[in-house]
């Protein structure tokens, strides 16, 4: 009797998932390729100084000279940012020195065309072997002011005006001759070489080729495979681990793509961990600290990558030349390790935090040796590993909740695993990752307890997480109302005598661990509460005061964040729609220090998708109202978490004086990433259980595509 062997399919599971997801991914890939093939303006180089302030004012015929430039081959224009009075631009002349070559260029006076102040002075095209050290001198026939950064950064030499030292940095960009445009795809070789600078030894250009051509196709394939098979035959821990692995890979890619220290407050977060590792103590909390904020070794690294010369600016670029890294390596070779323990001073953004997240970074710091960039990279990768836990929690939470297809839980996990801003932050050194993970764990444990009852083990875990949550970052207190809802729901559903030991374990675990923190907090120079003011959020002077002292102002502020101002309200914002700036741009895709962004049409699409998702989730709850009612406490936990986070964030920043730039950061909403993922998964059920998997396929594929497009955007934004 013969037998026929069946060859396993490369595309197992539900066929329509592959077709729908493949179509969405193909559309995204075509959009990325088309965008990458459009010829565009490019830089041949830059002095890695951004235009933040006016720093040099010239009188007519005075000369501004910028020294210490690395002039690249192929330069045919020099760009600066200049401002002047009157409707016509002054005439400008430039003298560019590159090695032994000196060339002159002229920009005649003309109408003021550039609204951003950018002017391009043409010069004869340079012919160099890569690049050469040089300088630039510029004069104008009328008064003009040039932009840059106030002050100097370490080894930078001061520009001069009329031969006198300026003491500030002037921004300079180098471009090819007018009309010389190239497609971004044709610059791929330059991009991977530039991205590999200031990385650990094994990280070279080939790594970035593998990331784009091997890793990302593999991630897309396995994400869709996971959804098509609905997590496999046993969609439990194995599927959770698979989701976590995908999330780790995406965040790890960000850790290698993002220039060193070019993530929000990353130098300060790194400095905190370094101080803790080298001295056993966190940084000083007092602004009057006698110590420096950064160690000598960290300062050398920050100076080498010029981070404080270009951050937060879309035209800012890190150093691109190999000699920049070589100069740093030569200068730091043989320096003693003690140069890493002479910091420990006050850090404005991080000194108030408790040590737990930074303590978790210590193994990576210790394993990396003395090189600051190796330390940063390993710490980023360890942070990415922590961040992956949140994606697994999203899968496990929706698995407990979803009344429909199992694919919904997988989709929820994939939403977190590929959310661009969440994974970008996860691939940086930032204690937001610590609090996000603890918040995700808390939501999962609460939902599991509501669904299955509180066990001894679960009670112990809940008690531990409730203590650890605000120790990672004080924003964790915003999840306490959700915890209260969850515990009340457990008591309401199960309060027999046999259930009491588990509740007792929860209370004892919380009390003992909180007491342990109180007993050691003083030795770390910290207080019981990890809020900036070191007071309980419910106490006088805490978060509650921000709401209760002037509730009318607070309600008006929150209303105007999300909705149009009502006629009787004072206008509290400069921005037309603050929620767009905070939760769409900064919450989805604003990389670096919020400098690298998509074109507006991408964010408009995200607005439409988010709005539709919220509406469809409401429809789904109505369609599944019987199941929703039976899960009322669980939904209450999700809603309490989401609203608690938003209420707390806005309470911190509510003010009656309009700000030029919104203060809230979209990443602060990521403590509610699990409820947000549940909303996205729930929206798929609005079309009925029969079609929910197909909609989930489109959702997951769109997230994968957006994540890939974000990586391409960042590479182009940083390195072209």
Q: Which residues contact 16 (CB under 8 A, 6 or more apart)?
A: 693, 694, 697
Q: Which residues pair with 591 in a beta bridge?
A: 596
Q: Which of 332, 195, 170 is nearest to 257 (CA)?
A: 195
| Distance between CA atoms of residues 377 and 204, nearest Å | 13
| Distance between CA atoms of residues 705 and 409, nearest Å | 19
Identify the pLDDT of residue 113.
66
Among left, alpha and beta (phi > 0; psi -120 to 50; other), residue 627 is: alpha
What's 91's domain CATH number? 2.60.290
- How many Cα atoms sit within 13 Å of 11 on the Cβ side? 10
Q: Which residue has the tokens 């789904």?
A: 620
Q: Which of 635, 668, 638, 667 is nearest to 651 (CA)?
A: 668
Is residue 672 situated within a structural domain? yes
Roughly what angle, to the nearest 10 degrees, separates helices 500-521 and 456-472? Answer: 30
Is residue 472 situated within a structural domain? yes
Sign for the pseudo-dihedral over CA of 443, 444, 450, 454: negative
For 367, the token pair is 């394993």
How far lies 352's CA from each of 360, 472, 513, 533, 651, in Å? 17, 11, 20, 8, 19
DSSP element (H, E) containing 89 = strand 88-89
| Distance between CA atoms of residues 623 and 176, nearest Å | 60
| Distance between CA atoms of residues 468 and 359, nearest Å | 13
| Distance between CA atoms of residues 392 and 389, nearest Å | 5
| Distance between CA atoms of residues 76 and 597, nearest Å | 27
Helix, strand or coil, per DSSP, at residue 460:
helix
Identify the pLDDT of residue 2.
39
DSSP element (H, E) containing 74 = none
- Where in the sequence is the domain holding 158, given as residue range(s)? 45-181
Using the 3D structure, point to which of 123, 153, 181 is the last residue of a domain: 181
Identify the pLDDT of residue 114.
62
Q: Pairing state of beta strands 53-58 and 164-165?
A: unpaired
The DSSP code for 176 is P
Using the 3D structure, point to which of 181, 212, 243 is the last residue of a domain: 181
Q: Which residues contact 206 (CB under 8 A, 6 or more apart)?
A: 192
| Distance between CA atoms of residues 610 and 579, nearest Å | 12
- How many Cα atoms sit within 13 Å of 504 on the Cβ side? 5
Q: Which residue has the tokens 């400069």?
A: 574
| Distance between CA atoms of residues 712 and 253, nearest Å | 11
Question: pLDDT tens digit string along 316-325?
Answer: 999 999 999 9
Identify the pLDDT of residue 404.
63
| Distance between CA atoms of residues 552 and 157, nearest Å | 52
pTM of the model: 0.95
Domain count, the chain: 2
Is residue 140 situated within a structural domain? yes
Using the 3D structure, point to which of 148, 181, 214 is the last residue of a domain: 181
Contact 545, 648 (CB under 8 A): no
Identify the pLDDT of residue 314.
92
Q: Which residues contact 50 (CB under 8 A, 6 or more apart)?
A: 148, 149, 171, 309, 310, 311, 312, 313, 315, 316
| Distance between CA atoms of residues 172 and 93, nearest Å | 15
Identify the pLDDT of residue 66.
97
Give me the phi and psi of 140, to 5 degrees please: -130, 155
684-685-687 Cα angle (round to 5): 85
For 126, the token pair is 């340079």
Identify the pLDDT of residue 201.
87
For 318, the token pair is 């890190």
Q: 437: how many CB neighbours lie within 10 A of its CB?
A: 30
What percent of the chain is helix, strand and coil (3-state, nearest 5)? 55, 10, 30
Contact 712, 591 (CB under 8 A): no
Contact 300, 343 (CB under 8 A): no
Helix, strand or coil, per DSSP, at residue 562:
helix
Residues of the chain with pLDDT under 70: 1-8, 113-115, 231-235, 403-405, 539-541
Is residue 27 situated within a structural domain? no
Identify the pLDDT of residue 42.
94
Question: pLDDT tens digit string along 505-519?
Answer: 999 999 999 999 999
Helix, strand or coil, per DSSP, at residue 394:
helix
Is residue 250 situated within a structural domain? no
Give me the phi and psi of 484, to 5 degrees please: -65, -45
The DSSP code for 603 is H
Q: Which of 122, 29, 34 is nearest to 80 (CA)?
A: 122
Is residue 416 situated within a structural domain? yes
Is residue 192 situated within a structural domain? no
How far lies 656's CA from each of 284, 544, 566, in Å? 32, 17, 15
Helix, strand or coil, per DSSP, at residue 64:
strand
Helix, strand or coil, per DSSP, at residue 104:
strand
Helix, strand or coil, per DSSP, at residue 248:
helix
How far lies 690's CA from each of 226, 408, 687, 693, 699, in Å? 19, 12, 8, 7, 16
Radius of gyration over every alpha carbon of the chain, rounded to an integer in angstroms:
27
Is residue 692 situated within a structural domain? yes
| Distance between CA atoms of residues 582 and 562, nearest Å | 10
């Amino acid at each position: 009797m013969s037998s026929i062997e069946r060859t396993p399919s490369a595309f197992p599971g539900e066929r329509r998932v592959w077709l729908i997801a493949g179509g969405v991914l193909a559309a995204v890939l075509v959009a990325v390729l088309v965008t990458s093939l459009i010829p565009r303006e490019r830089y041949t180089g830059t002095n890695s100084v951004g235009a933040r302030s006016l720093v040099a004012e010239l009188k007519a015929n005075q000369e501004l000279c910028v020294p210490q430039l690395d002039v690249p081959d192929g330069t045919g224009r020099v760009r600066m940012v200049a401002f002047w009075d009157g409707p016509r631009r002054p005439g400008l002349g430039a003298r560019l020195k590159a090695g032994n070559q000196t060339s002159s260029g002229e920009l005649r006076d003309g109408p003021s065309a550039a609204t951003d102040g950018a002017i391009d002075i043409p010069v004869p095209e340079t012919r160099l072997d890569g690049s050469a050290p040089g300088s630039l001198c510029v004069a104008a026939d009328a008064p003009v002011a040039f932009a840059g950064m106030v002050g100097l950064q370490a080894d930078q030499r001061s520009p001069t005006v009329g031969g006198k030292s300026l003491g500030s940095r002037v921004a300079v960009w180098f471009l090819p001759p007018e009309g010389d445009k190239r497609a971004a795809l044709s610059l791929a070789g330059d991009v991977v070489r530039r991205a590999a600078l200031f990385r650990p030894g094994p990280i070279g250009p080939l790594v970035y080729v593998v990331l784009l051509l091997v890793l990302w196709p593999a991630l897309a394939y396995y994400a869709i495979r996971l959804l098509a098979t609905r997590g496999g035959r046993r969609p439990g821990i194995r599927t959770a681990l698979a989701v976590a692995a995908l999330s780790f890979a995406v965040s790890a890619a960000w850790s290698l793509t993002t220039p060193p220290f070019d993530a929000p407050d990353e130098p300060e977060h790194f400095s905190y961990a370094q101080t803790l590792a080298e001295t056993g103590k966190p940084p000083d909390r007092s602004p009057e600290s006698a110590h420096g904020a950064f160690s000598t070794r960290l300062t050398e690294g920050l100076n080498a990558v010029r981070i404080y010369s270009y951050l937060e600016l879309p035209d800012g670029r890190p150093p691109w030349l190999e000699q920049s890294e070589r100069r740093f390596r030569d200068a730091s070779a043989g320096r003693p390790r003690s140069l890493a323990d002479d910091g420990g001073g006050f850090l404005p953004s991080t000194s108030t935090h408790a040590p737990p997240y930074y303590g978790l970074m210590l193994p990576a710091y210790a394993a990396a040796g003395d090189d600051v960039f190796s330390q940063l990279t390993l710490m980023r990768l360890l942070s990415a590993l922590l961040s992956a836990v949140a994606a697994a929690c999203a899968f496990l939470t929706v698995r407990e909740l979803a009344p429909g297809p199992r694919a919904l839980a997988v989709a929820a996990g994939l939403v977190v695993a590929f959310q661009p801003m969440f994974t970008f932050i996860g691939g940086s050194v930032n204690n937001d990752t610590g609090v996000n993970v603890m918040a995700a764990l808390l939501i999962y444990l609460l939902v599991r307890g509501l669904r299955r009852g509180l066990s001894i083990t679960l009670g112990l875990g809940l008690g531990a997480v409730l203590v650890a949550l605000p120790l990672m970052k004080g924003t964790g207190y915003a999840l306490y109302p959700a915890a209260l809802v969850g515990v009340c729901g457990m008591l309401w559903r199960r309060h027999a005598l046999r259930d009491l030991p588990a509740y007792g374990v929860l209370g004892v675990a919380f009390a003992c661990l909180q007491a342990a923190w109180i007993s050691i907090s003083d030795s770390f120079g910290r207080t019981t509460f990890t809020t900036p003011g070191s007071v309980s959020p419910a106490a006088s002077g805490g978060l509650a005061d921000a709401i209760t002292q002037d509730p009318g102002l607070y309600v008006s502020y929150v209303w105007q964040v999300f909705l149009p101002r009502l006629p009787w309200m004072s206008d509290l914002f400069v921005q037309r729609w603050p929620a767009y700036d905070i939760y769409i741009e900064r919450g989805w895709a604003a990389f670096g220090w919020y400098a690298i962004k998509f074109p507006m049409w991408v964010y408009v699409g995200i607005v439409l998708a988010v709005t539709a998702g919220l509406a469809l989730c409401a429809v789904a709850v109505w369609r599944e109202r019987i199941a929703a009612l039976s899960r009322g406490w669980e939904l209450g936990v999700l809603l309490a978490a989401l609203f608690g986070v938003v209420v707390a964030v806005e309470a911190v920043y509510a003010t009656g004086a309009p700000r030029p730039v919104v203060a809230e950061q979209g990443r602060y909403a990521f403590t509610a990433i699990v409820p947000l993922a549940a909303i996205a998964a729930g929206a798929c059920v609005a079309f009925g259980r029969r079609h929910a998997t197909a909609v989930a396929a489109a959702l997951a594929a769109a997230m994968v595509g957006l994540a890939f497009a974000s990586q391409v955007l960042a590479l182009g934004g940083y390195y072209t």
